Structure 1
């Protein structure tokens, strides 16, 4: 991966962005893509929409979207001793939170804390075998009492898990927030590759970093309504099944480093799916496949049914340990996903070619 792209990826991952609190990450996205687009806007929801115009008038609109929000926590209550009680923003696993270092994002900056619970020595034997509910866990910032804590933290402040970008072997990396900053990164790289190629496409391209996906596909819904695309490509993550404890019967054989995943099912336009396959073959880009027999639970789902309907595809990045602070993927899969989308953009000539017949 080129150095500038890698720096952008690390900055994007480091920026806090729990659902509803995405703007630190959106600022990183805006700063990076500004050089690669003709115009850039931020809507009332906080979605960032970057446009690269094509060659001609009344061209098909193609929207490529990845969501920037991540799972996190939100402060709900401060007790008399200064401990902070919290609720989940998105799908937080209560198995994993005790003992985590966190950052509470206050009006004056990030405040470090740790998540505590009753020590195992003081628990009844039956309680040791059950998951400690999130409501029984709390954040310790070192405050002496409620009064001191309230000077530092407000109810409603967002919390992220402390995590660092970690390089593993074989171009694999770990961090919090790859769901779905991996998708945002690919969207940004698509804009860069198109702009730097010097080619003018036969489409108007809209690269979108959406918000609030983890709590109901909200930004994907509103941004798609605003852009009103003819064709949409959602870039997401999906479960890798090449780890010991994941059942392949559920999600097929999906490996890190063997290319992006193309989903197939009722959420996916069959002609766009085949065009992606053809582009991968023509460009010698490795791909994998997954079946999606229902709504996919991604921005692709709301994109497909926006207004009069959108020809939609879903390109996924294989990911291990989803919704943890050590989500793990292959950098090669990110690069291949961006190259695949650029290749298919060059093949699109008409908004009518995706109408089933």
Structure 2
């Protein structure tokens, strides 16, 4: 809620988009104790300029209409970009770019690849669309693309999170949801392709779609590839464009390397 205060939003109404502003009691009117506390959702509201309930209805708005922060993408120095919802729209971009790379050399493929964009990863996580998609597709192996914390900013404990910089390449997870053989193959492919990468320990839940996929049906060998991301879950998340393309290259190369003899049984 703290990042929402004062933000402009776009409400997706049944008659079209409606502009609004997230409101809160002015700081001048807050008690001294209130000023030191983070905002709570119940203390915020969205002002669309209507005078009353009827005015809101005339705009085509109803309880439960979704809304998004009205924030576009901007380019920063080097190859960095800032935007809302980079987590995890860039996952969809990376996967589509990987599919595009594969389509350039269809004769080099012996495996089939399916790209899936899922829902409900962020809310009340029970596997969401990732679990249902994996159940239907029954893949031999799955690669999940998400973001992880970039640690090249002030006030970050690298002893806890590791060192993952923007421009440092994709981050490969190791842990209970990340299949050991899939990780080893990803790392080997990255080395052979000259793609920089770092490794992240995820001993418990990854809080990504990997958690739902790897436990589907009889179990799915799953790899988790993450893109370093600054200011996660804020209106201005920041990533490196080079990291996006390197992640797509890694996925495409991994898939090209698969054949009928590929075995993900841990040895």
TM above 0.5, yes or no, is yes
Aligned to 2:72: 164
User: Among 219, 228, 233, which residue is 1:309 paired with?
Assistant: 219
Aligned to 1:178: 86
Residue in 1 that maps onto 2:248: 338
Q: Which of 215, 222, 236 pairs up with 2:132?
A: 222
Could you list the runs of 4 or more consecutive aligned residues of structure 1 that deviate by over 6 angstroms after TM superposition?
none
Aligned pair partner of 1:347 in 239, 257, 263: 257
Q: Which of 214, 228, 237 is matched with 1:327 structurally?
A: 237
- Deviations 1:175-226 (CA, angstroms, capped at 9, x unpaired): 0011111111111111111012232422111111111211123010111101
Q: Does 1:266 align with 2:176?
A: yes
Query: Paired residue for 1:149?
Result: 56
Aligned to 2:197: 287
Structure number with higher strand proportion: 1
- 1:268-306 residue CA offsets vs partner (Å, 9 max, x unmatched): 111111111111111111111110111211111111111
> How far apart, CA to CA, are the structure 2 residues paired with 1:241 and 1:356?
32
CA distance in 2 between counterparts of 1:160 and 1:356 reads 44
2:116 aligned counterpart, secondary structure: strand
Report if aligned partners of 1:230, 1:351 keep a CA contact under 8 Å in 2: no
Aligned residue for 1:97?
4
* CA distance, structure 1, for counterparts of residue 205 and residue 28 of structure 2: 45
Deviation, structure 1 residue 250:
2.2
CA contact (8 A) 1:113 1:142 kept: yes
For the 8 Å contact 2:3–2:235, the answer to whether it is kept is no
Give the number of aligned pairs.
264
Taking structure 1 as reference, are residues 351 and 221 closer, same or farther at Cα in structure 2, changes over 3 Å only? Answer: farther
Structure 2: which 5+ runs fail to align?
none
Counterpart-to-counterpart distance in 1, 2:72 and 2:155: 25
Aligned to 1:135: 42
Deviation at 1:249, TM superposition (A): 2.1
TM-score by length of 1: 0.72
Is 1:120 equivalent to 2:30 in the alignment? Answer: no
Q: State how far apart, in whole Å, the 2-side matches of 1:351 and 1:306 are.
A: 23
1: CA distance, partners of 2:261 / 2:134 = 16
The 1-side partners of 2:136 and 2:198 are apart by 32
Give the deviation of 1:132 after TM superposition.
2.2
Q: For the residues of structure 2 that align with 1:269 and 1:149, how far apart are their CA atoms?
A: 51
Q: Distance in 2 between matches of 1:129 and 1:318?
A: 31
